[in-house]
Structure 1
Amino acid sequence: MSGGAEFQITVSEDAGERLDLLVARHGSLSRTQAATLIANGHVQVNGGRQKASYRAEAGDMVQVVVPPPPGREIVPEQIPLDIVFEDEHLLVVDKAAGMVVHPAPGNWSGTLVNALMGRGEPLAEGGGEDRAGLVHRLDKDTSGLLVVAKTDASHRILSTALAARQVTRRYVALCWGHLAADTLTVDKPIARDPRDRTRMAIVPTGKAARTDFVRLARFDSVDLLRAHLHSGRTHQIRVHLSSVGHPVIGDDTYGGGGGRKLAALPPRRHFLHAAWLRFKHPVSGQVIDLRSPLPDDLRRSLATLSDMPELATHQDPLDVFGFYRTDEHSGAREAASE
């Protein structure tokens, strides 16, 4: 977990566990990091301080604050952004693949937050300076729609709506192989991979995560999927598809990186795009419905793998496959029927 974050733990099955181990596991931290947070007063149990050796009891409320790393000023930068909606309360960015969303070790500049600050517009402060305005995130190499709050009030309302599953986020993905049926729900908990902290994994003690998949088309070696998030865990779609043996095409981290030339994908790009975003405006209540057509690189890949070259120049190939239909269980279209 990066600096400038906070989280809460309600102790239940964790009863009897040492406080430092409890904080480390829930916060994806090392035991030393957790012990340092406890010693510096950044961990409270039922509103008070405890030692790292404290044994958690059922019903304990543990509040953890991870301060931002010292001495790192987030510098505004003049970086072009594709803004698809904006008013005085919020904006929606169509993020390009390759852009990191917020500053963190190894990426202190060139991020979306740097670019947002460079616009000189107000941003919500609720998430801390390094995450100014962010309501949710996208992976570095995932493109598509992302909401940014300009005011703290909008940030609170949108974050609450997101947690209550009142923000519809649908992604398009190409995965290797074929699902057993046209619909699939993966409901598996996700946490840091205990063997590799740079990856996420299916971990029994992880945070609950559910993704619904609908197959929109079946091609020779791949399936075209629509993914609907019911939670927002890091790398969720990628981890869930990998867990069922059908990794996202081009995903070097979770087993889908082979065959990149066959898929006509550039280096370090996977076929995952946040294409559809729907939510109620935090002030007016108006429904905001935004769509992001496939970027050029993904259109070319889809055209190649589907053997439908006309898709490479189509305004929005997702329309061809019924991506924006509201019927969650619309079945797949066979390539042969196109």
Structure 2
Amino acid sequence: MDPVQEEVHRVESDAGERLDRYLARHFPEHSRTAWQHLIAQGAVTVNGRPAVARHPVQPGQIIAWPVGAAALLEAELAGQGPVEGPDLSHLVIYEDDAILVVNKPRGLVVHPARGHLGDTLIEGLLHRLTPSPEAPALRPGVVHRLDRDTTGLMVVAKTETARTRLAAALQVRLVHRAYMALVRGHPHPREGWLEAPIGRDPRNRQRMAVVLGGRQARTRYRTCRVWPGYALLSVELETGRTHQIRVHLAAAGHPVVGDPLYGAGPELGFPAQALHAWRLEFHHPMTGAKLAFTAPPPEDWAPAARQLGAGETVCDEPDCREVLARFQALTEAGA
């Protein structure tokens, strides 16, 4: 599960140019007016601090803004902001006055973005959220996200107070999220940390990559079971960068099976990445009560589970036992 993701750009030259002009020149797909509005909302930071449009950029500075925000703002300025979409209440596994927990399926985009207006998770839940003038109009209720083809658990805030508190908890790593991932090859060592900075791939802006000057990123993994050429991992995030798990595992030589962006694409019956957020734990933003949720992987994992067979279990830690139980259930369901 990722926090609300950011575009990150490192200034290499153009010392002294105004921030709004710099962004409009380097990212001309968005108008200068859109950048000015985004800056005025406090959504654009320079070295981690909100900036003003007249800020003179300097080489080495890091400029960041929410992924998709500029495109969404263009749409909003044109009168095409988020609209209530098809009812997605069937995805809700927990709800109270402050939060929703949902089990997101594959193929569902979390928040409105270019090419996705009216068909997103948030728009499908708008009727269950409490409007607030303080809430970000482009992302009501969004605390974090999952990639379109990553499945599993997410928490959505129903009120702005709940959203603010959950976002703060996420920043100080009090929201615990665990994934199961099927990958190519056998990681060595079998468990450990992947630590490498992540930023926009300079050769392909649709991808992220391990890059010098990227944002610190840390991923923990354990190998639970292996087969010839494949391994099932338990993965936990300490940070939450865009595509973090997928980028770190690919950089380590073990791309997620089915990943169309960082791996070989569809494989073993997976139409996209075999990555599922199966566990989510956090304290309730209003009551402080500890909440824990789990969700089994979707049915499109079953063909791979049956094809791979028993394999060799190489970890007996509690998280691996739980991951293996869910994977084994898929095998038995298809027997």
TM range (shorter): 0.7 to 0.9
Stretches of structure 2 that go unaligned for 5 or more consecutive residues are 312-316, 325-335
Q: Which amino acid aligns with 2:156?
A: V
Moved more, 188-197 or 42-51: 42-51
Q: Which moved more, 1:295-304 or 1:198-207?
A: 295-304
Give runs of aligned pairs for residues 53-202 of structure 1, distance below 5 A: 54=56, 56=58, 68-69=73-74, 70-71=77-78, 72-80=80-88, 81-117=90-126, 119-122=127-130, 128-202=136-210
CA displacement at 1:107 relative to structure 2:
1.3
* 1:312 equivalent in structure 2: none
Deviation of 1:199 after TM superposition, in Å, equals 1.0
Whole-angstrom distance in 1 between the partners of 2:92 and 2:117: 22
- Superposed displacement of residue 300, structure 1: 3.0
Q: Which residue of 1 aligns with 2:26?
A: 30
State the TM-score, normalized to the length of structure 1: 0.76
Shift of 1:302: 2.3
Residue aligning to 2:297: 294
Tell me if structure 1 keeps the 8 A contact 2:135–2:160: no
Question: Is contact 1:212-1:229 (8 Å) kept?
Answer: yes
Matched, 1:256 2:253: no
Per-residue CA deviations over 1:98-135 (Å, capped at 9, x if unaligned) read 10111111111211011011x34425666623311011
**Equivalent residue in structure 2 for 1:218, among 215, 226, 231:** 226
Q: Shift of residue 63 of structure 1?
A: 9.1
Q: Supply the AA of the counterpart residue of 1:83.
A: V
Q: Distance in 2 between matches of 1:320 and 1:303?
A: 22
> Aligned-pair distance for 1:231?
1.2
CA contact (8 A) 2:86 2:119 kept: no
**TM-score after normalising by structure 2:** 0.76
Q: Which amino acid is 1:100 matched to? A: V
Q: Does 1:306 align with 2:302?
A: no
- 8 Å CA contact retained: 1:126, 1:133: no
Contact kept? 1:38, 1:50, Cα under 8 Å = no
Counterpart CA distance in 1 for 2:295 and 2:285 is: 21
Where 1:224 maps in the other structure, the secondary structure is strand
Offset of 1:248 from its aligned partner? 0.1
The residue identity in structure 1 corresponding to 2:15 is: R
Superposed CA RMSD in Å reads: 3.9
Percent identical pairs in the alignment equals 32
Unaligned 5+ residue runs, structure 1? 309-317, 326-338
Once residues 264 and 64 of structure 1 are traced to their aligned partners in structure 2, the CA distance between those partners, rounded to angstroms, is 36
In the alignment, which of 6, 15, 27 is matched to residue 18 of structure 1? 15
Give 1:36 shift: 2.8
Separation of aligned partners in 1, 2:64 and 2:210: 25
Note if contact 1:264-1:304 (Cα within 8 Å) is conserved in structure 2: no
SS in 2 for 1:322: helix
- 1:248-290, Cα deviation, whole Å (9 max, x unpaired): 00001102326x1xx122x3x2200000000001111111000
- Contact 1:15 1:55 survives alignment (8 Å): no
Secondary structure in 2 matching 1:323? helix
- For the 8 Å contact 1:90–1:150, the answer to whether it is kept is yes
Shift of 1:145: 0.3
CA contact (8 A) 2:20 2:32 kept: no
